[in-house]
Structure 1
Amino acid sequence: MFFQGSDSIELLTASGKDPAAHWKTLGKVRREFDKASKAYLMVLDGPAAATKLSLPKDTKPLGLTHRYVVLQAWLPSGKAISLELGVTDVAGNRRRLLLSTAFRDCAVHQLHAQIPFQQLRRETWMHWTFDVARLVASGFPSQALRTLDSIVLCGSWKLRRIFTMKDPPMSAAAAFASGLCPYTHDALTQWLCR
C-alpha cells in the first residue's frame, strides 16, 4: 500500500480530493478549512467510543517498518482522546499499544499495553513523535518491533498530517542551532517517549 524506500511515509494529509480514502471513519469525522491555521484539517468531533479514524480501511496489516510515528495535532481542552498502535513483534505476535486519557496507570498484559496520556498540551498545535520501537521494548521487554500494522485515533482531534519516519526528527533546539530554523515560535515538539 505504501512505498517504504523513502525516509518518511505520508499516512494522512488533509489536503487533496479525498484525504481519508485509505482510512476507515466512524462517527463525526470531516475535513474542514481552518481560518486560523489557513489550512485544511481532518476533524474528529465526538466521544471516544463513537468517533474513530483508523488505518488501514480493511483487515490487511500495513507492515510499515519505520519506527517513528508523527502526528501534527491540536486537542480541545477537556475532551477524551485515545490512540491505538497495532504492531507485530519479531516473534510474529500481534500486539496493541493503547494510549488514552482514560488510563491513570500503565498496565501491561500479554498482548497489549495501556499507557496513560498525562499532562497533554491542549489548544495548541503540536508535533507528537512516538518512538514505537521504544514503546514496544518498554512494554514488552523481551520483544522488539518488526512492523507497524494499524493506527486508530478516537475522540476529539484536529489533524494536519500523520506520517512515519525512519530516523528521529530534529528537535527544535538542534534546528535552531544549525540555522535551519531561524525562529522557534511554532517549533513546539512534545516528546512522549525518550
Structure 2
Amino acid sequence: MFKNEYQGGPFVEIFSAQGKNPGAKWKIFGSPSAIWKEFDKEVKGFVFVLEGSSQTNKIQLPKETRQTLGLIQRFLVLQIYVPLGQDFSTTLLVTDLGNIKRRLYLSTVHKELSVTPLHAKLPLFMIKRKIWCNLCIDLVAFTSEIFKGAVFQSLDGIIISANCKLRKIFTLKSKPQDTAEEDDIFGLPFTADDPTDSIPRTCQLNTDVPQLTQLLNMTKFCQPEIRFGGHPLTSSESGARISMKT
C-alpha cells in the first residue's frame, strides 16, 4: 500500500480518524456496535473507539491479507488512549531482509515474554493508561533483539484490538523524545549518542491535551520486577524470564 509512496520524509501517516470514512481501508472484526467513530471533546477532533473483547473486536490493515503495507521507517507510533482496567492488544506483521514474515503480539493479556522463530508475545504491563499516549515501537530493535539475526525490512500489517481510542497511526524516521520516563524507575536515560526528534506538528495532539510519548524497548519487557517494586534483574535472571520455544 505504501511501497511505491515516498517514505524519505520525517513521517508517513498510516491512519487518521479525521475525514468522511477513515476506516474504509480497514477490515473490521467482531461486533460493529463495539467499533465506531466519534467526536472527542478532549482532543477536539474525531477518534476511533474500540470496546469489548480484545480477542474479537479489532481492526486490520491492509483489509486483504494478500496486500502488504511496505512501511520501511524505523519507528511506529500509535496515538491511543487506553482506559483503566481494560485489555488492549496490537499485532504487527514484520518482514525481515530474508523475506521471512514474523508476528509481534503486544498485549496486556500476556504475562511474560514468549518467543518462537516466527512469533513473539510481549506483555504490555507498562503501558500508560487514562492519558493520551504516543506509543512508539522501535521496529528495527524489536526485530533484531527478539528474532536473533533477523534484520527489519518492512512493516506489512497492523491489527489494533479493543480497548482504546485511536486518533492516528504513523511511522517516524527519527526517535521521538520519551516523556513517560519521568515517572518510571525502570526507564533508561538517554545518552548523547541517542538522538531524539520531536513528533511532526501535523501528527501532534493539541498542547492543552494531557499526553505523553512512551518509547517501548526490550529492557522494559525483561524487567517486570522493577515495575512492581522488586530488585533489578541480573542478565541471567532476565534471560530466565523469557520463554523460548521452537
Taking structure 1 as the reference length, the TM-score comes to 0.89
CA contact (8 A) 2:134 2:213 kept: yes
- Structure 1 match to 2:223: none
Q: List aligned pairs for 1:10-49, cutoff 5 A.
A: 10-26=13-29, 27=31, 28-49=34-55
- Structure 2 match to 1:86: 93
CA distance in 2, matches of 1:13, 1:22: 11
CA distance in 2, matches of 1:117, 1:123: 15
Change (3 A) 1:136 1:42: same
Change (3 A) 1:132 1:184: farther
CA distance in 1, matches of 2:197, 2:74: 21
Q: List aligned pairs for 1:68-147, cutoff 5 A.
A: 68-147=75-154
What one-letter code is carried by the residue in structure 2 that aligns with 1:20?
G
- Structure 1 match to 2:216: 192
Taking structure 2 as the reference length, the TM-score comes to 0.71
- Structure 2 match to 1:180: none
CA distance in 2, matches of 1:81, 1:190: 15
Where 1:40 maps in the other structure, the secondary structure is strand
Greater fraction helix: 2
List alignment gaps of at least 5 residues for structure 1. Answer: 177-182
Where 2:122 maps in the other structure, the secondary structure is strand
1:186 deviates by: 4.1
What's the C-alpha RMSD, in Å, of the aligned pairs?
A: 2.1
CA distance in 2, matches of 1:120, 1:128: 8
Structure 1 segments of 4 or more deviating over 3 A? 170-176, 183-187
**Cα deviation 1:41-62 (Å, max 9, x = unaligned):** 0111110112111110111111
What one-letter code is carried by the residue in structure 2 that aligns with 1:9?
V
**Cα deviation 1:77-104 (Å, max 9, x = unaligned):** 1111111110111111110011111111
What one-letter code is carried by the residue in structure 1 that aligns with 2:89?
S
- The alignment status of 1:9 with 2:28, answered yes or no, reads no
- Structure 2 match to 1:157: 164
State the aligned residue count: 188
CA distance in 1, matches of 2:71, 2:197: 27
CA distance in 1, matches of 2:79, 2:53: 20
Higher Cα Rg, which structure: 2
CA distance in 1, matches of 2:177, 2:111: 30
